[in-house]
Amino acid sequence: MRPPWALPDELDRRGQAIVLTVLAVLCLPLLVVPPEASMDTAALFDDPARDRLAEEATTEGLSGFLIVRVRHDDAGPLTTNLSRVHDLMAIEAGVLHGEGAYAFDVEHTWIERLETPFARWSAAFDSHNRSMAEADTWSEVLQPPLEGGWCADDATVEEQRALEASLLLLPKGSNMGVACPAFAGASPAAPPIANELLWMVWMDSEEPPTDWLELQRWADKVSADTPYTFEPAGVNMLFKESEEIAKEDLSIVLPVAAALLTTLLLFVLRRPMTVAKTLGSVGLVVAAELGLLTLCGHRFTVIDAIAIPIIMAVAVDGAFWYSVSSRSKAEVRRLLLVAMITTIGAVSLALFSPIRAQRGLALVMIIGIFLDWFVTRYVMEGVYLATRRAPPRPPAHSSPLSFAPIAWLWPVALVLLAAVAVTSPPGVEVLDIDQFMPEDDPSLDELDDLRGTYMIASSTLVQVLVDVEGGDDPDRLIDFTTQLSQHPTLIAYDTGTARQPLLLGIPNADPYVNDTLATWYDRHNGPLLLDDPVLRMNGEMTGIHLIAIIDGEDADGAHLFQQDVNDLMEHNDLTGVIGGDLVIGIALAKAFEATRVVQVLAAGAAVFALAGMVTGSRHQALRIAVGTVAVGIAVDGLASHMGGRGVNTAPAVLLGMGFAADYLAHASAGHRSTSRDAFARWGAAFSSVSVFAVVGLSRYPPAQDTGQLLAISVLISVMLAAILARVPVRARPVLSDEEA
């Protein structure tokens, strides 16, 4: 008995009009709030430390800072020329106060915080009643010499922060001068010597995500108006550049994909009005889905946009099967239903991915595939059937298929696909900015140069949040941080006589006898990157925020550091979370490497269960599932052969499995294959491959990888389906349209 909520087998014109009206209404939010696709680490993956800091930290989040490289146009001395120092201090003041010619005058976006060496140096000199801003020469602030400089045992807090700024924001190997005379060649009578330096900039806006390109526009303006060059850099800036590359690619891919589909449909259907209706329905599906997700508050990323041409390619499958194949209407309905359910079953595994971007892409794909099927089935079916030329009338009951001479190719094909997987190189690429920028992009070369020049650029920040209460005794935290500071992965500055690891967030002075954590930290001034390391909820201390600075080029070391911190917490009976872009990225890569085979098998199991439920045939479902798994492991292997298996390629593997399930569902239905069925199968495949090939020409690596792998997936799937269509299997009774 049909359930009360089920739709009728066919909708009349009024029902179709209601469906189209609902879809059109869902498009309306796009007119009010057009979706804005963004790209940053927050859009890529969940970071428990970042999420907690957003709720409990009082200072600006560390993941949101940018780096600005500052040089004089003549590439000459910067820090030793006090007049140039004064010029840059004036520019800093204009940026922070929003006044004058150098103000960051951008509507809805502002500079939240600015860290520069000169601001910290000025505060260090002020702590000794020496004014760097009012001096005409360096000798006025450096004489008499400050013995021991800013790294002396009795250095003031301001001097300690000035030392941190000098180490992090001046080039590696710079003469530290008064910052630390203990370094070889340094003197307390000279300022730190460098021809360039870095600013650290925190930006914010009324509505996230913040447009970091506004800083680039400000830098271009100030660089043109002054004899100084300001070059914004950093991972967040590169993510913004990758976003722009993706949007530019999309603006080209979508029109080309639409033109290809139009040409193919005109060739097959030969009815311009039917082609126009098909493309109109595809556009309506895409717009309605975007409107629905906008209403639900979905945050779009440029990775989600990869789904749009894929949805377009899937949408025209029904046009080929209804219009060209020899299948009855009932059979086409059944095979398209099986294809839709099995495809969604394979793709749905990505909904459980720990990677946020994969979950978002899977959601967009699932909704799009379902809407494609729904509109094809209940709106476009009659339009396509009207284009059939002399539709055949299949017999009421088909006889068993005869043995096909190429049936042995089925197991051979499965073995070959397995061989591709077995011979693929092991390993998974780390999830970092390199996965989202073209290999030949000059920005990556600039980033490499920056990493080679500055400690802060070559390092990565690991955020360690330790659960504590204000009344706790400091001893356990001291024991933990003492052990952690000895970790070999931590970057440290070494004067030759002392080694100071860069573990920030620990008070400089030892606690008093009766100190609690709250009273101890009340006397503590935060380091350069962390004004206030205390986490609070409703005014009560909930934790301590520590920052460990480790080598950003050593992914394995970062993973080891994360594991060791967890072990140290457990050893000291502490709890907390660890975050940071690199440690989370490498952890996700390791998790993906450990579970990728299980993910493929789980997708195959889902396809088997769903196909068996819809077809009522375990044998048919098993063939679909086995072929789907074979395609999945082969595509995963090809990803490794073609340049590196990574979390970017994981959605393509599942989508490839979805297409395999689609084509194998067509071929395993027990219907004697005809030339018209082959034409429909290959026509649908060629349309998809054409679109995916265009996507594969993108400069944006995730789109490029997805397009290339999906094009290969469809080709493998359609060839496997062609083989399966000739494999002997006892057919199910074929229903005529009247019986259906």
Q: Which pLDDT score is estimated for 17? A: 86
Confidence of residue 729 (pLDDT cuts 50, 70, 90): low
User: What pLDDT is stored for residue 222 in this prediction?
Assistant: 92
Taking a C-beta distance cutoff of 8 angstroms, is the pair 463, 62 a contact? yes
pLDDT at position 79 over 90: yes
CB 68 within 8 A of CB 450: no
* Residue 206 DSSP label: S
Q: What share of the chain is helix, strand, coil (3-state, %, to 5)?
A: 55, 10, 35
pLDDT tens track for 392-410:
454 444 444 444 446 677 7
In this structure, what token pair is assigned to residue 445?
């070369």
Phi and psi at residue 278, to the nearest 5° = -60, -50
Report pLDDT digits (tens) over 273-312. Answer: 888 988 899 899 999 999 999 888 888 888 888 888 888 8
Q: Per-residue confidence at 202, pLDDT binned at 50, 70, 90? A: confident
Residue 540's SS3 state is: strand
Q: Is the pLDDT of residue 184 over 50?
A: yes
Question: Residue 22, class by beta-carbon neighbours within 10 Å (0-12 exposed, 13-18 middle, 19+ buried)?
Answer: exposed
Q: Please name the residue that has the structure tokens 């801003």.
A: 133
What is the DSSP secondary structure assignment for residue 454, as one 8-state letter? B
**Average pLDDT of every residue of the chain:** 82
Percent of the chain's residues with pLDDT above 70:
90
Question: Is residue 201 over pLDDT 90?
Answer: no
H or E segment to which residue 466 belongs? strand 459-467
Spatial separation of the C-alpha atoms in residues 154 and 411, rounded to whole Å? 78
How far apart CA 658 and CA 341 sit, in angstroms, is 9
459 forms bridges with which residues in the sheet?
A: 551
Q: What's the mean pLDDT in 589-596?
A: 78
Q: For the chain, give me the number of helices (H) and strands (E)? A: 27, 11
Residue reference for tokens 């720990």: 354
Closest listed residue to residue 168, CA positions, set 729, 545, 547, 578: 547
Higher pLDDT, 644 or 321: 321
Closest C-alpha among 604, 730, 619 to residue 661: 604
- State the pLDDT at residue 496: 56
Mean pLDDT of 527-548: 84
DSSP 8-state secondary structure symbol assigned to residue 129: T
- Give the mean model confidence (pLDDT) for residues 120-146: 91
- The predicted-structure confidence for 539-579, as pLDDT tens digits, reads as follows 889 999 998 888 877 778 888 889 999 999 999 999 999 98
Note the pLDDT of residue 175.
Answer: 92
Rounded to 10 deg, the angle between the 650-667 and 701-724 helix axes is 20
Q: Which of 219-233, 439-453, 623-637 has the lowest mean pLDDT?
A: 439-453
Which residues are within 8 A (CB) of 394 and not within 5 positions of it... i.e. 6 or more apart? Answer: 326, 327, 328, 331, 671, 734, 736
Q: Which helix (H) or strand (E) holds 535?
A: strand 534-537
pTM of the model: 0.81
Which run of H or E residues covers position 537?
strand 534-537
pLDDT band at 59 (very low <50, low <70, confident <90, very high): low
Amino acid found at 23: L
Mean pLDDT in residue range 470-497: 82
From residue 114, alpha-carbon distances to 93, 185, 200, 528 in Å are 10, 30, 6, 11
Residue 3 pLDDT grade (very low, low, confident, very high; cuts 50, 70, 90): very low
Mean pLDDT for 254-263 is: 88
